[in-house]
Amino acid sequence: MTSYTNISHNGHKLLAINGMPDHVHVFFGMRPTQSISDLLQDIKGGSSKWINDSNFIKAHFSWQEGYGAFSYSKSHVTNVIQYVKNQEEHHKHKSFIEEYHEFLEKFEIDFDEKYIFEPIEYGDLI
Q: How far apart are CA 108 and CA 25, in angstroms?
A: 20
Of residues 21 and 85, more confidence is placed in: 85
What is the set of domains in the chain, with CATH numbers?
2-115 (3.30.70)
Query: Which band of pLDDT confidence, cut at 50, 70 and 90, is reported for residue 19?
Result: confident
Question: What pLDDT is stored for residue 3 in this prediction?
Answer: 60
3-state SS class at 71:
coil
pLDDT at 56: 87
Q: First CA to last CA across the chain, in angstroms?
A: 20
Confidence (pLDDT) at 96:
87
Between 19 and 17, whose confidence is greater? 17
pTM of the model: 0.81
What's the chain's average pLDDT? 87
| 78 pLDDT above the threshold of 90 | yes
Name which of 29-33, 46-50, 116-120 the model is least confident about.
Answer: 116-120
DSSP state of 10: T
